[in-house]
């Protein structure tokens, strides 16, 4: 079966599974844990992928008979998310899995929910209220390590452009502060342009274009971008800059970026345009999009009466030009063996995030990230 046809079939099956979950009888739902997903900002590939993986986890055969998952979106508005969580509690939530728009703004509503016996699990971004559970990687380490890589790459001297994430989130705050602390230790490193990128390739292009309106590529030496390295390489390509002259970029874990990191000339199925191997000098990382699915799994563990640590720190998925490794098919076994970028023929969207493997979540894999379908 051609892969495109296989994906369409998987999407159909996933859609049928989701519909089956949604139209279950009241009696069936009553026998399940009532769990809500509260998403905040959804305008980027990462959030869509994370939501797919959460839904796939809920649909896995090990949880499908236990979980009644309901999904709501608050948007980048803390007050709306507070109202949403209050409504979830009133609707009988037993657990709420949440991507918090702020580490502190939700504390009171979270405390109120905990006092009513509701289990609160934050994924990727943090909630500082002590009763909440948190599942995330070390965002400060991510900012520090990538900034140190860029400083080393530039020999401690050069003009840097920085593109940050979604303001107010603990993820953006911690990454950006850690990176700037590193840059501040090197007086010959100058941040000559900075913009909010909202973790979006499209926004990164817009903001980088504005910066380039005031200085040319030849006046920039390196890039630190929470999301946008793929776009930056593409824009340099459009400007006629050869692959071996492209600026080093410390940033995102998109599949497009990691494909560009592969040695120039590498044969990759489905490569096209700027979605191709370039030998792009980079370090790549991203919050693992499986974090929400793991949070859901742990929430069920708690509801089952199991002991779960209040904070689960996920490994930082760092990839360099030396460690980038192509996944030919994207099987579980292949990912477990260490591959970390997928053929464009499998993943058509270059903005899709590649760090989907965790031995803590064998229930979900490539199908989960792409179309919300669990492993068998």
The ranges assigned to domains in the chain are 3-137+288-315
Q: Which residues on adjacent β-strands are paired with residue 225?
A: 163, 251
Q: What is the pLDDT of residue 27?
A: 45
Phi, psi of 262 (to 5 degrees): -60, 150
Cβ 121 vs Cβ 132: under 8 Å: yes
- What count of residues does the chain have? 376
3-state secondary structure of 68: strand
Element (H, E) at 6: helix 3-22
- pLDDT per residue rounded down to tens, the chain (376 residues): 434 444 444 444 444 444 444 444 444 566 899 999 999 867 788 999 999 999 999 999 999 999 999 999 988 889 999 999 999 999 999 999 999 999 999 999 999 999 999 999 999 999 999 999 999 999 999 999 999 999 999 999 999 999 999 999 999 999 999 999 999 999 999 999 999 999 999 999 999 999 999 999 999 999 999 999 999 999 999 999 999 999 999 999 999 999 999 999 999 999 999 999 999 999 999 999 999 999 999 999 999 999 999 999 999 999 999 999 999 999 999 999 999 999 999 999 999 999 999 999 999 999 999 999 999 8
Percent of the chain as helix, strand, coil, to the nearest 5: 40, 20, 40
Q: What is the pLDDT of residue 29?
A: 61
CA distance 347 to 367: 11
Cβ 169 vs Cβ 125: under 8 Å: yes
What token pair was written down for 309?
């640590």
Q: Is 71 exposed, middle or buried (0-12, 13-18, 19+ CB in 10 A)?
A: middle
| DSSP structure class, residue 227 | S
Q: What is the pLDDT of residue 44?
A: 80
Question: For residue 360, how many other CB atoms are within 10 A of its CB?
Answer: 16
CA distance 123 to 347: 24
Q: Select from 3.90.1300.10, 3.40.50.2300, 3.30.420.40, 3.90.226.10 the CATH code of 3-137+288-315.
A: 3.40.50.2300
Q: What is the pLDDT of residue 376?
A: 80
3-state secondary structure of 174: helix
pTM, to two decimals? 0.89
What token pair was written down for 213?
């309106």
Cβ 335 vs Cβ 364: under 8 Å: no
């Amino acid at each position: 079966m051609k892969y495109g046809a296989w994906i369409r079939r998987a999407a159909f099956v996933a859609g049928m599974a989701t519909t089956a979950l949604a139209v279950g009888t009241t009696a069936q739902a009553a026998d399940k844990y009532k769990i809500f997903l509260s998403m905040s900002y959804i305008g980027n590939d990462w959030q869509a992928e994370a939501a797919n993986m959460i839904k796939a986890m809920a649909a896995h055969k090990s949880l499908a008979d236990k979980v009644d998952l309901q999904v709501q979106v608050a948007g980048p508005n803390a007050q709306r998310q507070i109202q949403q969580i209050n409504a979830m509690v009133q609707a009988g939530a037993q657990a709420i899995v949440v991507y918090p728009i702020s580490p502190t703004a939700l504390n009171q509503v979270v405390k109120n929910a905990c006092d009513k016996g509701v289990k609160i699990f934050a994924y990727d971004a943090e909630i500082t209220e002590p009763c909440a559970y948190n599942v995330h990687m070390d965002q400060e380490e991510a900012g520090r390590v990538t900034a140190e890589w860029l400083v080393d790459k530039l020999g401690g001297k050069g003009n840097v452009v920085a593109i940050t994430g979604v303001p107010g989130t603990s993820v953006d705050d911690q990454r950006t502060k850690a990176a700037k602390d590193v840059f501040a230790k090197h007086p010959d490193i100058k941040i000559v342009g900075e913009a909010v990128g909202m973790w979006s390739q499209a926004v990164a292009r817009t903001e980088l274009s504005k910066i380039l309106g005031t200085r040319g590529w030849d006046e920039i030496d390196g890039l630190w971008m929470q999301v946008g390295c793929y776009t930056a390489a593409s824009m340099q390509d459009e400007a006629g800059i050869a692959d071996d002259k492209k600026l080093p970029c410390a940033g995102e874990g998109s599949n497009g970026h990691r494909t560009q990191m592969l040695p120039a000339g590498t044969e990759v199925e489905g490569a096209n345009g700027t979605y191709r191997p370039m030998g792009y000098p980079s370090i790549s990382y991203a919050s693992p999009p499986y974090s929400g699915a793991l949070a859901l799994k742990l929430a069920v563990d708690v509801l089952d009466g199991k002991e779960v640590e209040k904070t689960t720190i996920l490994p930082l998925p760092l990839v360099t030009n030396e460690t980038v490794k192509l996944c030919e098919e994207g099987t579980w076994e292949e990912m477990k063996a260490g591959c970390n970028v997928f053929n464009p023929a499998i993943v058509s969207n270059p903005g899709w995030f590649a760090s989907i493997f965790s031995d803590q979540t064998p229930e979900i894999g490539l199908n989960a990230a792409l179309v919300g379908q669990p492993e068998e």
